[in-house]
Amino acid sequence: MASIKQKAALASIAVTVALTVAKAVVGFASGSIAILAEAAHGLVDTAATLLTFYAVRLADKPADEDHPYGHGKVESIAALAETAFLFLVSGIVVTEAVRRLLDGGQPVEVTPWLAGFLVLVIAVDFWRVRVLSRLAQETGSHALESGALHFAADMGASTVVLIGLGFVWLGYPKADAIAAIAVAILICAMSWRLGRRTIDTLMDRAPTGASQALAEAVDQVPGVVSVDRVRLREVGNETLAEIAVNVNRTLPLHRVAAIKSAIASAAEAARPNTQTTVTTNAVALDDETVMERVHLTARLQGLAVHHITIHHVGERLSVGLDLEVDGALSLGEAHTIASHLEQAVREELGEDVEVETHIEPLQVEMLTGADCPPETVAHLAGALKTFAAEEGPITDVHSVRVRRTPQGLVAVFHCRADPALSIGEVHEAVDRIERRFRRAHPEIVRVVGHAEPRRPLPS
């Protein structure tokens, strides 16, 4: 896209120089002051197209340390400068036209080849306006847009000059000056519209309705509680959006990251070429449960808790939980950690809340070990099956694996139970088997029992 803009600007320079030279030659040859004025206008055009080329080259440079948002606004500055050129040319044209009206007009030699030359100039300007307008729309370049406007003014000026020469040929010598004033008014009107839009861009004015459209699109993203703020600014053909949203504070970080990614996609869909920066604010929801609040409090302190029980004792809330800490810690160190957690829970739920923690060692991770001999596995599997048969609800102990580690033996087994039983009932039955198994075999340091629903009997 960058090379397309630069090639368009270079082609525009070449055509402008060629037309300016041709207008000067024809103007001197015919003695037409109007054509010579067009040649002078062409000099301004040349300066404007050179400015456009410089602007699009600089705007295409990537962002750097001094310009973190890129260099896109240089196109708006160039467009503003070209607008000033257009107002300057309009003033010169009006001044010369008024002088001619006061002097009674200037004699102009109107010939067919002069008219043909103006028709050719109009055709070339028409082609330039179409090409630059299309590229400006595709790339969002304000510099190319201003260039297209400049050449549209040239085309209008040449058309009015041609019409004025027609009236001069019919015997109205002042027609040329009147047409020139009309062209100047047209140029001023077009320049004012472009200048106002360019100034809006430089002042970071958000496009009408864009902020509201983005806010509505973001508000539909799952996980967004509400949209707090949307700020937009245009840089070249891109829109930079800063969006702040509120999300549930209990969400884990990976879920918040997914929400931010979805927000960026929604913004791009609502307004193409939008680069989005998303800020999330964690807020408490009215429907948060006590369980969620306790889990959040522990997570913020980087602690592992489980088996949380919550109940009311009269008007008082009581919370009990198991806290896992490093088994190598002393009781005093572990108790300090538990006390800090209990105080944090009270600050979250209220100072009158009763909080009790059961401290237990954190399970050791990344144990190294090896499979036990088959006879050891068979012996321990037999013991598990015996205990399961005696406990009742648990059947079909299978997939027994036993590994020896530096800390002791680790056993894993699968079993089955009635699928209609509750999780609590199944967990208690498996837990009874594990406790009996460890009492019978003290070398076992860890037992993992995996319960599966019992397959229905074939009919």
Q: 155 with 127: CB under 8 angstroms?
A: no
**Per-residue pLDDT at 341:** 93
The reported pLDDT for the residue numbered 368 is 73
Concatenated DSSP letters of 169-198: HHT-TTHHHHHHHHHHHHHHHHHHHHHHHH
112: three-class secondary structure by DSSP: helix
Contact present, 361 and 327 (Cβ < 8 Å): yes
pLDDT of residue 330: 87
**The pLDDT of residue 104:** 60
**Helical spans, DSSP H, in 350-422:** 374-391
* Sheet strands side by side (includes 354-361): 304-313, 316-325, 354-361
Q: State the CB neighbour count (10 A cutoff) for residue 250.
A: 16
For residue 347, the model assigns a pLDDT of: 92
* 282 close to 320: Cβ distance less than 8 angstroms: no
Alpha helices in 283-422, H assignment, sequence order: 290-300, 331-349, 374-391
Q: How many residues does the chain have?
A: 459
How many Å apart are CA 178 and CA 174, to the nearest integer?
Answer: 6
Q: Which residues of the chain have pLDDT under 50?
A: 1-2, 459
Domains and CATH numbers, the chain: 2-202 (1.20.1510.10), 210-283 (3.30.70.1350), 290-361 (3.30.70.1350), 370-453 (3.30.70.1350)
Distance from C-alpha of 437 to C-alpha of 433, rounded to nearest angstrom: 6
CA distances, 107 to each of 93, 112, 139, 163 (Å):
18, 16, 46, 16
Confidence (pLDDT) at 2: 46
Q: What is the pLDDT of residue 34?
A: 60
Closest CA to 452 of 399, 404, 411: 399
Reported pTM: 0.52
